[in-house]
Amino acid sequence: MKRVMSIKKSIVQRYLILSVLAATLPVLAIGLLYDRFTSNALEQLLGEKLSTHLTATANRLGAYVEARRYQLETLANYPGISAFANAGNHEAGDEKNDAIGELLQIESDLPDLYGILFFDADGRLQRVVPGQAASGPPYWNDRTFETARLPITNLGEIQIIGPMPASDGDSGWMLLRHPLYGRQADQVIGYIALHLRLASLTEQLGSTAAVGTLHPLLRTPAGDFNTVGRSVVPKGQLIAGPEILPNWQPLLEVESTGLLKTFALERRALFVAMLVSAALITFLFYRLSRVLRKRIGLLLSGAEAISSGDLDHQIAESGGDEIATVSHAFNTMSGKLKEYLGRAVRMEKLAVLGEFATGIAHEIRNPLAAIKTSVQALARREQDPRRTQLLSEMAGEIDRLARVVSDLVDFGRPRAPSPGTVPVSELFSHVAAIIEPEALARGLDFSCQGNPNLELWFDPDHLLQIVLNLALNAVQATPPGGAVQLRASAANGQVAVEVSDTGSGIPAELLERVSDPFFTTKTKGVGLGLSISRQLCELNGGRLHIDSSPGRGTVIYLLLPAARASHASNADHPDH
């Protein structure tokens, strides 16, 4: 059954979540910190700017009020001003009063004044000196000039009355009133007042064009006024400046919808960029996790296939990254595992066959010896030539069976190797002495090539048996006119011995079975020669490999241990 990976336990899923959090949280944190920092910085910067603006406005307002106060005190302390006030509007005739009247006329002609007013001790208007800007009551209008209901702010001896908002076509105004004293210093006999244009004071609020979304206002006991002296009701947030008089102070009205409009747009754009970045990062990591999960799924399915016994399964090695490296390692592992299992199975088979062959050999060897002795005795006493020939052939077959039994014994219980130094030249000389006559008899070209200085570290008898078996098989598999060659060369600290022929070759489907015990393609033989050769080669630390294809012959490679004292070169020299 195929194992299904749980999403909750998936390392890819965990890495996806951790990666998304690691990527998006810093972006969100940076965005929020940036927004907070810019908000605080803008608020601090704007607050400092507004504070400076309000302070400057308060200084201008205070300077204006102070100038009018100084003017009023100067007039109130002018000699003869009290007598002028008590003389009434229609009494004139002396030069002193005329001089004071001319002075007051000059003072009232300032653009900030409607005129100069005189009141009695009870606050009733007694006399007016109109200026050039005079209009409406109490100058050219019959309406009552009323001040009783206006708020009064005390500034030392001076009273600030009002302001009076504009109404019915009349401009707004305010009074700065100073008491007039009689002969006794504490006796108030009347008042002199400057009738001021309210707009002259509110104009000192200045402009907020640099700020753009702030409106300057003047807060008074009678309400709030704008820069043109009109009463207004603020709707936005108010920022108060320092007081210029008790309950008199400049204000800034903040338009909550317009002040930070540009900043709000940029902040919104920042948040959108943050969300888009987070979504993009999430999407990219999600896609990456899908690909990674798919490739890990291939590894998992490959591992399950190998664990189920499909050692021929191969995992795709695409990408050239770490997963491809793991895939390559899986494929290599499955190949090695297949090779090791094949060896283990083969060794187990060989062990079973060895025990069986040894048992059979012991059971056959003694009867064969008795049979051969009887045949030889019968042949010596036989007079009939035909029967003698028959007994001779029987003795030959008994010898052949004896050799098969010997092969079975060798295969079942191979002798432990006793390695020693074997010169390649000596090995080839022994093999050539035995094989060359057989090759010539079959019309074959037999040769040995190799470096005469090469030396092997091998059991001499085992080595001679291996090479003789392979050379004899090559001679028997090669048709007349062909060639059999032995060749030796150095190979990375070892010695490579090749036995090649120009025979018909071995089909691919039989190549893996030719070294199995009792498998043979010959009409005669039991199929143990190649098996014994491989067995003896591996016992001595060597390896045997067969390379063959139909119609091109066969080459058997022996990679054998070199003698420790051998320092042979790779040059090849013919021995025969």
CATH number at residue 248: 3.30.450.20
At what angle are helices 529-539 and 460-477 packed, to 10 degrees?
A: 150
Whether residue 502 is found in the same domain as residue 539: yes
In a domain, 521, yes or no: yes
Instruction: State the CB neighbour count (10 A cutoff) for residue 53.
Output: 21
In a domain, 315, yes or no: no
Which pLDDT value is given to residue 415?
65
* Residue ending a domain, choose from 410, 445, 463: 410
Average pLDDT over residues 396-421: 69
Whether residue 226 is found in the same domain as residue 347: no
Average pLDDT over residues 43-63: 80
277-294 pLDDT per residue, tens: 778 877 877 777 777 777
Question: Quick one: tokens of 141?
Answer: 């209008």
Q: Residue 120's closest CA among 64, 198, 74, 177?
A: 177
Average pLDDT over residues 344-372: 68
Which pLDDT value is given to residue 62?
92
Which pLDDT value is given to residue 566?
44
Using CA atoms, how far apart are residues 361 and 75, in angstroms rounded to an integer? 154
- Is 89 a residue whose pLDDT tops 80? no
For CA atoms 315, 319, 320, 326, the dihedral sign is: negative
Its pTM stands at: 0.44
Average pLDDT over residues 259-270: 67
Whether residue 383 is found in the same domain as residue 498: no
Whether residue 138 is found in the same domain as residue 126: yes
232-258 pLDDT per residue, tens: 998 877 888 899 999 999 998 876 555
Which pLDDT value is given to residue 7?
46
Q: Give the residue with greater pLDDT, 211 vs 341.
A: 341
Contacts of 555 (CB under 8 A, 6+ apart): 498, 499, 500, 546, 547, 548
133 band by pLDDT with thresholds 50, 70 and 90: confident
In a domain, 372, yes or no: yes
Which pLDDT value is given to residue 366?
67
Whether residue 42 is found in the same domain as residue 145: yes
Which pLDDT value is given to residue 379?
76
Whether residue 41 is found in the same domain as residue 166: yes
Average pLDDT over residues 73-86: 86
Q: Is 300 within 8 Å of 313 (Cβ atoms)?
A: no
Count how many residues are written for the chain.
576
Whether residue 356 is found in the same domain as residue 424: no
Q: Residue 228's closest CA among 196, 250, 253, 201?
A: 201
In a domain, 397, yes or no: yes
In a domain, 339, yes or no: yes
Which pLDDT value is given to residue 256?
54
Q: Is 575 within 8 Å of 450 (Cβ atoms)?
A: yes
Q: Where are the beta strands (DSSP E) in 412-482?
A: 420-423, 445-450, 455-458
Contacts of 111 (CB under 8 A, 6+ apart): 132, 133, 197, 200
At what angle are helices 529-539 and 385-412 packed, to 10 degrees?
A: 30
575 band by pLDDT with thresholds 50, 70 and 90: very low
Which pLDDT value is given to residue 344?
72
- Is 570 a residue whose pLDDT tops 50? no
Average pLDDT over residues 212-220: 83
Average pLDDT over residues 440-447: 90
Which pLDDT value is given to residue 167?
78
Whether residue 198 is found in the same domain as residue 237: yes
222-234 pLDDT per residue, tens: 999 998 888 899 8
Using CA atoms, how far apart are residues 154 and 245, in angstroms rounded to an integer? 9
The number of folded domains in the chain is 3
Q: Residue 437's closest CA among 475, 409, 397?
A: 475
SS percent in the chain: helix, strand, coil, step 5: 50, 20, 30
Whether residue 122 is found in the same domain as residue 251: yes
Using CA atoms, how far apart are residues 82 and 182, in angstroms rounded to an integer? 7
Whether residue 469 is found in the same domain as residue 495: yes
Classify strands 494-501 and 237-240 as parallel, antiparallel or unpaired: unpaired
- Is 301 a residue whose pLDDT tops 90? no
Give the domain range for residue 382: 322-410
Q: Give the residue with greater pLDDT, 330 vs 413.
A: 330
- Is 132 a residue whose pLDDT tops 70? yes
Average pLDDT over residues 535-544: 86
Average pLDDT, the chain: 78
Which pLDDT value is given to residue 532?
75
Q: Is 514 within 8 Å of 546 (Cβ atoms)?
A: yes
Whether residue 426 is found in the same domain as residue 529: yes
Which pLDDT value is given to residue 93?
54
Which pLDDT value is given to residue 118?
92
296 band by pLDDT with thresholds 50, 70 and 90: confident
- Is 516 a residue whose pLDDT tops 70? no
Whether residue 500 is found in the same domain as residue 460: yes
- Is 574 a residue whose pLDDT tops 50? no
Which pLDDT value is given to residue 21?
74
Q: Is 236 within 8 Å of 256 (Cβ atoms)?
A: yes
| Helix spans in 213-321 (H) | 261-307
Which pLDDT value is given to residue 2?
43
Lowest mean pLDDT among 325-334, 528-537, 566-575: 566-575
Look up the CATH number of the domain holding residue 428.
3.30.565.10
- Is 158 a residue whose pLDDT tops 90? yes
In a domain, 461, yes or no: yes
520 band by pLDDT with thresholds 50, 70 and 90: low
102-125 pLDDT per residue, tens: 888 888 888 889 999 999 888 888
* Residue ending a domain, choose from 273, 288, 303: 288
In a domain, 299, yes or no: no
Q: Is 150 within 8 Å of 160 (Cβ atoms)?
A: no
Average pLDDT over residues 170-187: 86
* Residue ending a domain, choose from 349, 375, 410: 410
- Is 299 a residue whose pLDDT tops 80? no
In a domain, 2, yes or no: no
Question: Quick one: tokens of 186?
Answer: 């504490």
Look up the CATH number of the domain holding residue 395.
1.10.287
